A and B are shown apart, each in its own frame.
Chain A
């Protein structure tokens, strides 16, 4: 067991830190949350800077440890997160890299890396949430096109995306996992309507996407027809790999700030609250160690993230909610003031036990795939 980094890794960290110190002050002002074109330009611009400096493909080609260092350092330096590039870099991109043809990789991957194109995700549907495989958006073959009709939900960045990674049903007579195909849909195609959805935090983070006889070329299908479920699982396992590195770093910083605020406003003198903060320190230290453990495991197994991601997400999503509940305890009445720090974060933390597989689904995954308990209800 070794927690020290190699000389090469230390050097990578030092170079990255130096580069971040140089470029972060040159970034334009952050756009407001409702300014979608502004957010798109800002996030793509950041990706372009990473690309030009040789960090553009860190999510794909770097070793898990290098990726860990990258995410840790960028978060600590206060660099922008992937933002609008999330689906392109962490979902659709890796899927195309793993399952696409040479031609498809050539068409779609460089624009993502260079910060030219934005992707969004069309997986969930109003009637297909946790039971994603029951999705009903239909695609019929018509010559060299699929004609797609249906609706998608929880699609982030739909307003400003160039492409949508879309799951459609191509064989309704097959068992539900076997009749699904994975398509790259151009978002400027005729027949697409985007309706923004506001979250309980007040921001328009995602949208509903309605598809009315949208034509998608057959050549935009990645993987075989009706093999989309397997193709999708490749994508989802990427999401549960090193996805939370930056967030754990951020949570540890927030925890430190909370302690400082508690000392300032006197709440620190309450031993119950103080010990709760101590417990959260233990919790996030352990989550950081578990991240390092999982990354080392991925390193040893050739970069493939394991089901350990579900274990991590279960604990982390809960810990994050607890962190902001304790923040509210520190703030007292100010916890009801949206202008105060942490109040909006408390609201958005509520999605963590739901998005990307609810805690209940994650517990099924852990129990069935790791512990070997029987499938059932």
Chain B
């Protein structure tokens, strides 16, 4: 048993982090500096950046090398989606990833694929292809300014891999908001010292980290086993780590956390969107409960 990242996995993580970090300077629309106020219209997807994600292998990495992929597995996919989740990369990333090798152009980032997930579809208007279709879809005014949403009448089934990759994105957010909270607690001074010296703030930060580490173990293990019950567990813990984490991060930021210009709200809103995927937590909880009595409900 060696339940740690391999050197190759660390290298992959670093490359993805680097490419996303550099590209963001080039101008994708989600960066806070270029996004000073609520948008009047739904955001547009940056097609150039989408292709850059395709070149990076975000969509194709689990395809066999013979099919133009990297022949990697779920653990690598989870590491990549953790990074894109942390960076708030916009777009129907998971739907396009799952369509690679099925929908022409998805693997390379030429085609944008959206999918109905539970009662919602993300990025419907910007998608070239919608799976399995979006009949009767009605736009709603999305709480997340960077994720346009449509409601669909019939709930769509969600496969476990999609749930796992959502958990990976949530884990990314959880790690990111923990870092933001700690950074703020170290530098913001009140009463003549950094607020992170006060136990009330310190303990919020400690619990942020605890939730990240527990979720990380669950998400990575589910990526290794691919077991639906492990995936359900990963999902619950990653949702908690992201949503509670973003809330506590906002609290640590005080008044600034409540402003549009702080990025904290974007993490919280994205975490809320992801927590609704697959119809929310109920199904995962029921699956885990059934597992306790040998799978029978």
**Taking beta carbons and an 8 Å cutoff, which residues of A are in contact with B?**
1-6, 9, 65, 68, 255-256, 258-260, 263, 268, 274-275, 277-279, 281-283, 285-287, 289-290, 292-293, 295-297, 299-300, 308, 311, 314-315, 360, 362-364, 366-368, 370-377
Picked from A278, A292, A373, the residue with its CB within 8 Å of the CB of B289 is A278
B230 nearest CB neighbor, chain A only: A285
A376 pairs with B193, CB closer than 8 A: yes
Which residues of chain B are within 8 angstroms of A314 by Cβ–Cβ distance? 206-207, 210
B78 nearest CB neighbor, chain A only: A1
**Beta-carbon contacts under 8 Å, B207-262 to A:** 207, 209-210, 213-218, 220-221, 223-225, 229-230, 232-234, 236-237
A373 pairs with B285, CB closer than 8 A: no
- In the assembled complex, how far is the CB of residue A300 from the closest CB belonging to chain B, in whole angstroms? 6
Could you tell me the distance between the alpha carbons of A314 and B166 in the complex, rounded to whole angstroms?
Answer: 26
B197 pairs with A375, CB closer than 8 A: yes
B220 pairs with A1, CB closer than 8 A: yes
B220 pairs with A289, CB closer than 8 A: yes
B286 pairs with A275, CB closer than 8 A: yes
Could you tell me the distance between the alpha carbons of A248 and B116 in the complex, rounded to whole angstroms?
Answer: 38
Mark interface residues in B1-24 (1 if CB within 8 Å of A CB, else 0).
111111001000000000000000
* B203 interfacial contact with A, CB 8 Å: yes
- In the assembled complex, how far is the CB of residue A102 from the closest CB belonging to chain B, in whole angstroms? 34
* B35 interfacial contact with A, CB 8 Å: no
A259 pairs with B292, CB closer than 8 A: yes
- CB within 8 Å for A275 and B282 given contacts A282-B288, A289-B221: yes
A360 pairs with B186, CB closer than 8 A: no
- CB within 8 Å for A371 and B182 given contacts A260-B293, A299-B2, A360-B199: yes
- In the assembled complex, how far is the CB of residue A326 from the closest CB belonging to chain B, in whole angstroms? 12
* B90 interfacial contact with A, CB 8 Å: no
Picked from A268, A286, A295, A370, the residue with its CB within 8 Å of the CB of B218 is A286
* B291 interfacial contact with A, CB 8 Å: yes
A289 pairs with B186, CB closer than 8 A: no
Determine chain A's interface SS by DSSP, over half rule: helix
Which residues of chain B are within 8 angstroms of A255 by Cβ–Cβ distance? 292
Could you tell me the distance between the alpha carbons of A286 and B236 in the complex, rounded to whole angstroms?
Answer: 10
Picked from B1, B199, B215, B291, the residue with its CB within 8 Å of the CB of A2 is B1
Picked from A268, A282, A308, A373, the residue with its CB within 8 Å of the CB of B232 is A282
Could you tell me the distance between the alpha carbons of A274 and B185 in the complex, rounded to whole angstroms?
Answer: 39
B9 pairs with A1, CB closer than 8 A: yes
A-B contact pairs, 5 of them (CB 8 A): A255-B292, A281-B289, A360-B199, A366-B209, A374-B186
- CB within 8 Å for A1 and B196 given contacts A373-B182, A374-B186: no
Could you tell me the distance between the alpha carbons of A289 and B234 in the complex, rounded to whole angstroms?
Answer: 11
A256 pairs with B292, CB closer than 8 A: yes
- CB within 8 Å for A366 and B4 given contacts A263-B293, A274-B286, A286-B218: no
Could you tell me the distance between the alpha carbons of A275 and B292 in the complex, rounded to whole angstroms?
Answer: 11
- In the assembled complex, how far is the CB of residue A162 from the closest CB belonging to chain B, in whole angstroms? 37
**Beta-carbon contacts under 8 Å, B63-85 to A:** 75
B3 nearest CB neighbor, chain A only: A296
- In the assembled complex, how far is the CB of residue A101 from the closest CB belonging to chain B, in whole angstroms? 36
Which residues of chain B are within 8 angstroms of A285 by Cβ–Cβ distance? 218, 221, 229-230, 233
* B273 interfacial contact with A, CB 8 Å: no
B286 pairs with A278, CB closer than 8 A: yes
B3 pairs with A371, CB closer than 8 A: no
**Beta-carbon contacts under 8 Å, B174-209 to A:** 182, 185-186, 193-194, 196-199, 202-203, 205-207, 209
A289 pairs with B203, CB closer than 8 A: no
**Taking beta carbons and an 8 Å cutoff, which residues of B are in contact with A?**
1-6, 9, 75, 182, 185-186, 193-194, 196-199, 202-203, 205-207, 209-210, 213-218, 220-221, 223-225, 229-230, 232-234, 236-237, 282, 284-293
Please give 6 more A-B residue pairs, beta carbons under 8 A apart, in addition to A289-B218, A376-B197: A6-B1, A279-B288, A286-B221, A290-B213, A293-B3, A364-B206
A373 pairs with B186, CB closer than 8 A: yes
Which residues of chain B are within 8 angstroms of A6 by Cβ–Cβ distance? 1
Could you tell me the distance between the alpha carbons of A315 and B210 in the complex, rounded to whole angstroms?
Answer: 7
Which residues of chain B are within 8 angstroms of A299 by Cβ–Cβ distance? 2
Which residues of chain A are within 8 angstroms of B233 by Cβ–Cβ distance? 281-282, 285-286
- In the assembled complex, how far is the CB of residue B225 from the closest CB belonging to chain A, in whole angstroms? 7
B3 pairs with A289, CB closer than 8 A: yes
Which residues of chain A are within 8 angstroms of B199 by Cβ–Cβ distance? 360, 363-364, 376-377
Which residues of chain A are within 8 angstroms of B214 by Cβ–Cβ distance? 283, 286-287, 290, 311, 315
- In the assembled complex, how far is the CB of residue B171 from the closest CB belonging to chain A, in whole angstroms? 12
Which residues of chain A are within 8 angstroms of B186 by Cβ–Cβ distance? 372-374
Q: Which of B3, B230, B236 has the most CB of A within 10 A?
A: B3
Q: Which of A1, A9, A260, A314 has the most CB of B within 10 A?
A: A1
- CB within 8 Å for A311 and B209 given contacts A286-B218, A289-B220, A373-B182: yes
A300 nearest CB neighbor, chain B only: B4
A278 pairs with B198, CB closer than 8 A: no
Which residues of chain A are within 8 angstroms of B225 by Cβ–Cβ distance? 3
A368 nearest CB neighbor, chain B only: B202
- In the assembled complex, how far is the CB of residue A273 from the closest CB belonging to chain B, in whole angstroms? 9
A296 pairs with B210, CB closer than 8 A: no
Could you tell me the distance between the alpha carbons of A256 and B296 in the complex, rounded to whole angstroms?
Answer: 13
Could you tell me the distance between the alpha carbons of A283 and B284 in the complex, rounded to whole angstroms?
Answer: 13
- In the assembled complex, how far is the CB of residue B255 from the closest CB belonging to chain A, in whole angstroms? 21
Which residues of chain A are within 8 angstroms of B218 by Cβ–Cβ distance? 282, 285-286, 289-290
